[in-house]
A and B are shown apart, each in its own frame.
Chain A
């Protein structure tokens, strides 16, 4: 079945460091891919998305490119801030198999000042 695998955390970085959180997926058909962010004690918020191969989603300095050949959607940011500390979830949704979104387990990011 469809699945999402993302790197285990926690990831600890110093402010202004480069961030990569890896995400790979298994899916039938042509899924849409998402990154969501969850701040402590809150619900998830959509960070960015890509709906077809080679699309690049971007928002708030974060980017991810939909790579069909490697079935990946890695999240990157050139210079992290303390305020980026949160849990990041990679997710996919296919147009087959109903109306489900499949979420990865989440990667916790700590950014130190």
Chain B
């Protein structure tokens, strides 16, 4: 089955440590996205990538970094510079051609930093 996988589902880290969240898709989608979701709030865009080896900052990129070395993979690193990293992180992908622009989401990773 095609889809998006994120691992791990739960992640715990000490303050001051960098942590990398995995996102893999086998949908052959060109575009991939990272969102942050806080309790009771909507989604905020962290980074997105339309093609391999290229990515753009979203609305809240400070303290985060990404890479897009392969079409299937778009890992997100939460650095120690991120002041409030505890949140639910969602990865998504989309085809971005023609009129189809809906996004397909992974199951999310809940990061807790203490």
Residues of chain A having any CB pair with chain B under 8 Å: 32, 34, 36, 41-46, 49, 51, 89, 93, 98-101, 103-106
- Collect the chain A residues with CB atoms within 8 Å of residue B107's CB: 42-43
Which residue of the partner chain, among B33, B99, B103, contacts A46 with CB atoms under 8 Å? B103
- A89, B43: Cβ atoms closer than 8 Å: yes
18 A–B contact pairs at CB < 8 A? A41-B108, A43-B4, A43-B6, A43-B108, A44-B90, A44-B92, A44-B103, A44-B105, A45-B105, A46-B104, A49-B102, A89-B42, A99-B50, A100-B48, A100-B58, A101-B33, A103-B43, A105-B42
Instruction: State how many angstroms separate the Cβ of A56 from the closest Cβ of chain B.
Output: 16
Interface size on B, residues (CB 8 A): 26
- B90, A51: Cβ atoms closer than 8 Å: no
- A43, B101: Cβ atoms closer than 8 Å: no
In whole angstroms, how far apart are the Cα atoms of A106 and B99 in the complex?
Answer: 24
- B58, A46: Cβ atoms closer than 8 Å: no
In whole angstroms, how far apart are the Cα atoms of A99 and B101 in the complex?
Answer: 9
By beta carbon, the residue of chain A nearest B105 is A43
Interface flag for B96 (CB, 8 Å): yes
- Collect the chain B residues with CB atoms within 8 Å of residue A51's CB: 99
In whole angstroms, how far apart are the Cα atoms of A70 and B3 in the complex?
Answer: 36
In whole angstroms, how far apart are the Cα atoms of A36 and B35 in the complex?
Answer: 14
Pick the 10 closest A-B CB pairs, nearest first.
A43-B105, A105-B42, A44-B105, A103-B43, A103-B42, A46-B102, A93-B101, A43-B107, A43-B108, A43-B106
By beta carbon, the residue of chain A nearest B91 is A43
- Collect the chain B residues with CB atoms within 8 Å of residue A42's CB: 107-108
In whole angstroms, how far apart are the Cα atoms of A45 and B33 in the complex?
Answer: 15
- Collect the chain A residues with CB atoms within 8 Å of residue B106's CB: 43
- Collect the chain B residues with CB atoms within 8 Å of residue A34's CB: 102
